[in-house]
């Protein structure tokens, strides 16, 4: 037989479990915080930390703090148990109940006895105790004089309580008599008597006051002479004049009478202004179309508005006010005749006896009424005559109107036709934006200059970019179409310069709306002109001067865009185009001279603010003056392309007759001379040459003033001074040209200053870099610490700050992870509840 199993003791079991837990916990994972010294009264934080224990502690701490805050987040109320001793574990339940009962009784007692007075004090009123007065021991005796106490008299009862049927009985000698009620007639008679009496009293009082006033006036006249009175101004000569007011007092009074500031209307945005303008034009166009169809205008005339009108839109539904008029000697109340008739009938039924009594007993009143009636007749007698004459005039006017009715109808028909014709000829108020240049041309051709301006302006207002989405693209196209139309007007013969001048403001407004698109359009025009000029130079070796359309485009570019910028996407290409034309276009006729002169004016306008030096401008002006020199060989100066020192076209500005200068007068050169000079005789040609020389000398003067601050100013203008002094026949020119030549010579110095040539500054040559390495001895190895005490403390604080910062970030991440898990658990629990339901 086998041995029975040996029973294990409880100690063996405990020992086995203890060893298993020790084996389960790896000793290398146990964290022991060793404590060096034991301090009494200090909590020990140096415990043995097992794996997972610290994590569970942190989770429990977050559940007690962070999770509670998360649950109470965005909660406005909470339940707080304020019962006494509810959470005090040291008190017994019986003590808690007794203390609560005591506090409740004290609270109710304090509220009840809050306004109680001391019982020992006795309150009195006029020396009598209020307690005794409340007992009502003093009985008030009756006021009646009768011997029977406690009974009220009939008069007192009737006066205060209205009495009764028995108390209203009057007792007489024969027996009881009851008072009869008065009839309506008796009441009316009593009222009439009272009114007559009051009227008589008022009349008597009025007479007495009038007598007293007359008596007082008489006495005042007798006393007035004794009183002091002011002397008239004519007699007050010796009196001193009043002192004049100081400037300060005058200013104070002026400020007192100055108009106070008033609130102005709200400034409207450009979108609101454009919307209102379009609505106004649409209303005008609808009115014009209505007049074209012969319909009457629906616009009402402005009604009369009272000065007391609040302008709040309040209108009475019915006007019940009565108007008074005078007709047939009597007052007539319009709108109330029927009511007056009903009232008169009632007065006749009810008040007939009243009239009789008034006639019997009211002699004085009748006399007064007769006097008043007589006065009324006297006052209104002239109205009757005027009314009669007015009626006769009205009858005559009616006859005339009946006779003139057919003529008036015919006249109105003619007027209506005239209005329709005028509406058809009138310019429309609304226009659609043109889709092509031909559409714009059809809109503008056939109209006057002012009408063309109105058409373009109304196109802009009806198609403002803020009114619709596609209006911006339409107006951008309109800018290019307008420039093309301006170029077409410039190429006509004769060119319509007045129309171009009128349309320039509209082009400017479109450029302000869309500067980027306007810049692209101008760049395209300038680049096309420059490419065409270069192609002509490559093919023919020379190019013609730009036409009037291109010259106007250059002028528009100077008006629309800034010319003083160092580099600009529009003005810089225009500036280069002008320089290219002044250099590569030969001068072979008076038309080319005029075109070159216009380009010089534009160049001066371009550099008037920036004062940029243009050598092509100075060379071209020197060449123009050389065209007026009679000698063939001039070695003192030299002209450059596009001019020649000698040749066929080198005498274009030489006068045919020197006496023509006596009949010359200063006039502006027309722009049409760019296409064709209209001079047909030699005298007219000489006058044109003198005008060109006048403009050229004026440009030279402006350039001399503009470039005065240049370092090589005298050297630049020395050839021009030599030509004006030695070669130009100024003596045969008019006095105005001689004065210009004198001013130019005064501005340019006679002897040029000797400036040293421009060279680079001399500097010491830089030595070559040595190839030997630079050796630096390093004595500090490892992590460098501060040398001084302050630096070490600073480094320690920085290290501690970094450590704490990382710890705070780590805790924030753990808090965020914990809250995310709590939110996820809430969501999962809600999903489980919904699925179970």
What are the Cα distances from residue 238, in Å, to 41, 169, 244, 245, 671?
A: 112, 90, 18, 21, 79
Among the ranges given (385-394, 581-590, 600-609), the one the predictor scored with the smallest mean pLDDT: 385-394
- What is the pLDDT of the chain when averaged over all its residues? 77
Q: How far is CA 553 from the centre of its chain?
A: 37
Q: How many C-beta atoms lie closer than 10 Å to residue 764's C-beta? A: 5
Range of weakest confidence among 113-122, 203-212, 514-523, 688-697: 113-122
Phi-psi region of 163 (alpha: psi -120 to 50; beta: other; left: phi over 0): left
Which residues are CB-contacts of 463 (< 8 A; sequence separation ≥ 6)?
432, 433, 471, 474, 475
Nearest to 324 by CA among 303, 342, 340: 340
Tokens of 181: 């009620």
Closest CA to 488 of 431, 452, 437: 437
Summarize the confidence of residues 350-371 as an average pLDDT: 43
CA distance 690 to 628: 10
pLDDT band at 508; cut points 50, 70, 90: very high
Residue 5 has pLDDT above 70, yes or no: no
pLDDT, one tens digit per residue, over 240-289 is 566 778 889 888 888 888 777 777 778 888 888 888 998 999 899 888 88
Q: Which two tokens mark 580?
A: 């290219």
Tell me, yes or no, if the pTM score tops 0.85: no
Residue 713's pLDDT band, with cuts at 50, 70 and 90, is: confident
Closest alpha carbon to 674 in 547, 499, 529: 547
Strand, helix or coil at 560? helix
On the question of pLDDT at 387 being above 80, the answer is no
Q: Mapping DSSP to helix (H, G, I), strand (E, B) and coil, where does residue 459 land? A: helix
Confidence of residue 343 (pLDDT cuts 50, 70, 90): very low
Of 417-426, 582-591, 811-820, the range with the highest mean pLDDT is 811-820
Q: What is the CA radius of gyration of the chain?
A: 59
The span from the CA of 65 to the CA of 377, in Å, is 106
- Give the Cβ contact number of residue 740 at 10 Å: 20
Instruction: Encode pLDDT of 665-700 as tens digits.
Output: 888 888 888 888 888 888 888 899 999 999 999 999
Nearest to 718 by CA among 749, 744, 693: 749
Distances from the Cα of 259 to the Cαs of 254, 256, 265, 809, in angstroms?
10, 8, 17, 68
The stretches of 638-730 forming alpha helices (DSSP H) are 682-706, 713-722
> Can you tell me the distance from the alpha carbon of 714 to that of 750, in angstroms, rounded to the nearest whole number?
8
Q: Indicate the SS3 state at residue 332.
A: strand
Q: Check the CA dihedral 50-54-55-56 and report its sign.
A: positive
Q: Which two tokens stand for residue 43?
A: 């909590």
Greatest Cα-to-Cα distance within the chain, rounded to the nearest angstrom:
173
H/E element, 406: helix 363-425
């Amino acid at each position: 037989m086998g041995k029975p199993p040996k029973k294990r003791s409880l100690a063996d079991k405990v020992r086995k479990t203890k060893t298993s837990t020790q084996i389960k916990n790896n000793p290398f994972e146990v964290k022991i915080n060793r404590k060096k010294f034991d301090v009494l009264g200090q909590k020990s934080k140096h415990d043995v930390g097992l794996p997972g224990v610290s994590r569970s502690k942190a989770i429990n701490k977050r559940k007690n703090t962070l999770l509670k805050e998360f649950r109470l987040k965005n909660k406005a109320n909470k339940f707080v148990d304020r019962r006494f001793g509810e959470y005090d574990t040291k008190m017994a339940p019986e003590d808690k109940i007794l203390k609560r009962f005591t506090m409740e009784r004290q609270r109710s007692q304090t509220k009840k006895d809050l306004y109680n007075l001391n019982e020992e004090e006795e309150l009195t009123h006029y020396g009598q105790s209020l307690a005794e007065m409340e007992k009502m021991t003093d009985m008030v005796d009756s006021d009646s004089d009768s011997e029977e106490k406690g009974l009220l008299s009939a008069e007192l009862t009737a006066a205060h309580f209205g009495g009764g049927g028995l108390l209203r009985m009057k007792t007489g000698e024969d027996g009881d008599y009851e008072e009869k009620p008065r009839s309506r007639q008796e009441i009316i008679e009593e009222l009439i008597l009272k009114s007559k009496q009051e009227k008589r009293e008022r009349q008597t009082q009025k007479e007495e006051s009038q007598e007293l006033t007359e008596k007082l006036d008489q006495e005042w006249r007798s006393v007035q002479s004794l009183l002091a009175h002011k002397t008239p101004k004519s007699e007050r000569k010796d009196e001193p004049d009043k002192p004049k007011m100081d400037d300060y007092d005058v200013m104070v009074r002026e400020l007192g009478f100055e108009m106070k500031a008033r609130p102005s209307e709200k400034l409207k945005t450009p979108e609101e202004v454009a919307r209102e303008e379009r609505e106004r034009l649409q209303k005008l166009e609808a009115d014009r179309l209505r007049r074209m169809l012969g319909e009457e205008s629906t616009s009402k005339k402005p009604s009369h508005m009272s000065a007391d009108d609040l302008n709040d839109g309040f209108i009475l539904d019915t006007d019940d006010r009565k108007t008074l008029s005078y007709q047939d000697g009597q007052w007539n109340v319009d709108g109330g005749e029927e009511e007056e008739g009903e009232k008169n009938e009632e007065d006749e039924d009810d008040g007939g006896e009243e009239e009789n009594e008034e006639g019997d007993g009211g002699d004085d009143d009748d006399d007064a009424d007769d006097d008043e009636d007589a006065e009324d007749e006297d006052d209104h007698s002239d109205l009757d005559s005027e009314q009669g004459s007015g009626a006769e005039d009205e009858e005559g006017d009616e006859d005339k109107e009946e006779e003139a009715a057919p003529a008036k109808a015919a006249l109105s028909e003619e007027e209506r036709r005239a209005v329709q014709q005028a509406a058809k000829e009138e310019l429309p108020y609304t226009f659609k934006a043109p889709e092509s240049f031909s559409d714009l041309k059809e809109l503008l051709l056939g109209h006057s200059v002012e009408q063309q301006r109105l058409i373009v302006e109304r196109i802009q207002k009806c198609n403002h970019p803020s009114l619709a989405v596609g209006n911006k693209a339409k107006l951008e196209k309109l800018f290019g179409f307008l420039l093309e139309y301006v170029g077409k007007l410039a190429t006509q013969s004769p060119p319509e310069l007045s129309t171009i001048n009128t349309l320039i403001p509209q082009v400017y407004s479109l450029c302000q709306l869309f500067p980027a698109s306007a810049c692209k359009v101008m760049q395209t025009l300038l680049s096309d002109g420059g490419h065409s000029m270069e192609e002509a130079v490559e093919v023919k070796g020379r190019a013609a001067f730009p036409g009037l359309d291109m010259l106007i485009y250059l002028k528009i570019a100077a008006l629309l865009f800034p010319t003083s910028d160092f580099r600009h996407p529009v003005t810089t290409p225009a500036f280069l185009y002008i320089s290219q034309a002044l250099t590569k276009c030969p001068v072979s006729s008076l038309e080319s001279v005029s075109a070159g002169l216009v380009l010089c004016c534009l160049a001066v306008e371009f550099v008037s603010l920036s004062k940029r030096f243009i050598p092509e401008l100075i060379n071209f002006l020197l060449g123009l003056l050389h065209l007026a020199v009679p000698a063939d060989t001039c070695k003192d100066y030299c002209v450059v392309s596009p001019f020649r020192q000698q040749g066929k076209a080198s005498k274009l500005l030489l006068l045919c007759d020197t006496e023509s200068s006596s009949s010359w007068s200063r006039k502006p050169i027309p722009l049409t001379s760019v296409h064709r000079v209209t001079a047909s005789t030699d005298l007219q040609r000489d006058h044109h040459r003198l005008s060109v020389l006048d403009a050229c000398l004026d440009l030279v003067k402006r350039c001399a003033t503009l470039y005065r601050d240049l370092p090589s100013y005298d050297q630049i203008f020395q050839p021009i001074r030599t030509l004006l002094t030695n070669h130009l026949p100024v003596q045969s020119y008019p006095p105005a040209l001689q004065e210009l030549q004198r001013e130019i010579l005064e501005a340019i110095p006679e002897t040029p200053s000797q400036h040293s040539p421009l060279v680079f500054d001399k500097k010491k040559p830089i030595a070559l870099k040595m190839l030997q390495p630079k050796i630096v001895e390093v004595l500090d190895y490892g992590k460098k610490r501060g040398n001084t005490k302050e630096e070490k403390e600073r480094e320690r604080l920085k290290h501690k700050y970094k450590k704490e910062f990382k710890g705070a970030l780590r805790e924030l991440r753990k808090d965020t992870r914990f809250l995310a898990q709590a939110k996820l658990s809430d969501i999962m629990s809600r999903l489980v509840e919904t699925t179970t339901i």
